[in-house]
């Protein structure tokens, strides 16, 4: 790109798959270099690292459709992030990254202290953040995509997982999609992101602690045993194929929540074989379609859908690939707000039961 960022096309149709339509394209914008000022400070009260990315305050926010920077280049409209006149799937580095510098000297920069106090270590927020455009169609949703295009997205996720995991300074890779203004999206074009974190995230760290305790107590794999138990019970399973099962977790936190896991033990998307990727495209399409039918009168359910993958280094053997998709909507027009108990104390209260969620997701099957 004009400012040195990397852009990658993942195509399944001609003239794009051969590169004929994109090989000679150049980003001709006059852009200054990306300047990431992200740092991470250690929270001594929780043991977690908090990223500070003040430069993101000026990022693009909800432009009209004719100024969308994720749409393909077209005559008569300002140049955006994708120089091609059309595309299937495209991935590029975020211009306003939360994490940056993975694979560079920044990954080896020593940590310091805030105000010289030993209680407050600080270090660069090393990592990488990428944008994944699922389609050139501004008005589409992921659930609208044909299965063949979803399969291309799966390939992009797997490719980027492998590439980012190999970068110096990366500890975990998280592909995800935020959809809906209720979630806080800043661009309406159908897209997701991939965060490459410098360490395992707090959620993953907690899971690894539980998995290690489970292994010591039973000798088993926690995530494997959870999947097997859900399949045995069947009460919360919403769909199942040869290689994948989707279920509502027994302790679901959200009014709409579903997990999707492969039957084979794999650490991440890059480890899936061809048949597993093929079925994933079908199963995931159906799952998103059911989410959109979950509430009558709601055409596009706001949701977060993210792939939990094993960390790159320590604890990798305890991780296992699975998707978590959930919505903050508890009924049409009503949101599940994280108020005092959830936000202040982390003590969750769900407004329904996992069994009711599963019943509904089975009722709206295609």
Mark whether 20 and 51 lie in a shared domain: yes
In a domain, 1, yes or no: no
In a domain, 2, yes or no: no
10 near 159, Cβ under 8 Å?
yes
Mark whether 16 and 133 lie in a shared domain: yes
Rounded to 10 degrees, what is the CA torsion of 134, 138, 139, 145? -20
Boundary-marking domain end, from 150, 174, 200: 200
In a domain, 40, yes or no: yes
Average pLDDT (11-36) is 89
Which residues carry out catalysis? 191
Mark whether 56 and 177 lie in a shared domain: yes
Instruction: Output the pLDDT for position 174.
Output: 98
At 16, the pLDDT band (50, 70, 90 cuts) reads confident
Mark whether 73 and 189 lie in a shared domain: yes
Instruction: Answer yes or no: is pLDDT of 57 > 90.
Output: no
pLDDT digits (tens, 9 = 90+) for 77-122: 888 999 999 999 999 999 999 999 999 998 888 899 999 999 999 9
From first CA to last CA, the distance across the chain in angstroms is: 41
CA-CA distance, 213 to 69, in Å (whole number)? 47
Q: Which domain holds residue 131?
A: 7-200
303 near 326, Cβ under 8 Å?
yes
In a domain, 221, yes or no: yes
In a domain, 248, yes or no: yes
Boundary-marking domain end, from 172, 200, 228: 200
Boundary-marking domain end, from 174, 200, 226: 200
Instruction: Work out the number of other CB atoms within 10 angstroms of the CB of residue 82.
Output: 24
Q: Which residues does 219 contact at the CB level (< 8 Å), separation at least 6?
A: none
Mark whether 236 and 257 lie in a shared domain: yes
CA-CA distance, 260 to 223, in Å (whole number)? 12
In a domain, 318, yes or no: yes
CATH of the domain at 129: 3.30.428.10
Tokens of 190: 């159908």
ω into residue 347 within 30 of 0, thus cis?
no
Q: What percent of the chain has pLDDT over 70?
A: 100
pLDDT digits (tens, 9 = 90+) for 154-183: 999 999 999 999 999 999 999 999 999 999
Mark whether 111 and 86 lie in a shared domain: yes
- The number of folded domains in the chain is 2
Q: What is the pTM of this model?
A: 0.96
Instruction: Output the pLDDT for position 100.
Output: 95
CA-CA distance, 230 to 338, in Å (whole number)? 28
**Helix residue ranges, H only, the chain:** 147-165, 202-218, 222-233, 274-292, 345, 354-363
């Amino acid at each position: 790109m004009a400012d040195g960022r990397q852009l990658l096309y993942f195509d399944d149709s001609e003239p794009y798959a051969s590169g004929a339509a994109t090989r000679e394209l150049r980003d001709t914008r006059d852009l200054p270099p990306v300047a990431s000022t992200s740092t991470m400070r250690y929270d001594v009260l929780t043991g977690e690292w908090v990223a500070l990315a003040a430069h993101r305050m000026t990022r693009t926010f909800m432009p009209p459709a004719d100024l969308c920077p994720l749409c393909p280049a077209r005559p008569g409209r300002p140049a955006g992030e994708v120089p091609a006149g059309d595309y299937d799937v495209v991935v590029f580095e975020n211009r306003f990254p939360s994490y940056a510098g993975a694979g560079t000297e920044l990954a080896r920069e020593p940590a310091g202290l805030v105000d010289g106090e030993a209680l407050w270590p600080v270090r660069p927020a090393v990592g990488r953040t990428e944008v994944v455009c699922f389609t050139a169609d501004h008005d589409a949703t992921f659930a609208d995509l044909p299965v063949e295009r979803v399969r291309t997205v799966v390939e992009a996720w797997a490719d980027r997982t492998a590439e980012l995991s190999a970068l110096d300074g990366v500890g975990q890779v998280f592909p995800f999609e935020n959809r809906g203004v209720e979630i806080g999206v800043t661009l309406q074009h159908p897209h997701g992101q991939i965060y490459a974190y410098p360490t395992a995230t707090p959620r993953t760290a907690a899971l690894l602690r539980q998995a290690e305790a489970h292994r010591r107590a039973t000798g088993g794999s926690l995530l494997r045993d959870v999947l097997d138990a859900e399949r045995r019970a069947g009460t919360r399973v919403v769909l199942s194929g040869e290689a994948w099962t989707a279920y509502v977790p027994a302790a679901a936190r959200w009014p709409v929540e579903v997990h999707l896991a492969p039957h084979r033990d794999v650490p991440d998307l890059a480890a899936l074989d061809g048949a597993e990727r093929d079925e994933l495209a079908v199963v995931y399409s159906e799952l998103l379609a059911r989410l959109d039918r979950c509430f009558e009168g709601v055409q596009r359910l706001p949701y977060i859908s993210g792939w939990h993958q094993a960390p790159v280094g320590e604890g990798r053997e305890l991780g296992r690939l699975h998707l978590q998709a959930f919505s903050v909507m508890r009924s049409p027009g009503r949101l599940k707000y994280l108020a005092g108990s959830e936000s202040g104390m982390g003590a969750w209260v769900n407004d329904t039961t996992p069994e009711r969620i599963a019943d509904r997701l089975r009722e709206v099957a295609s």
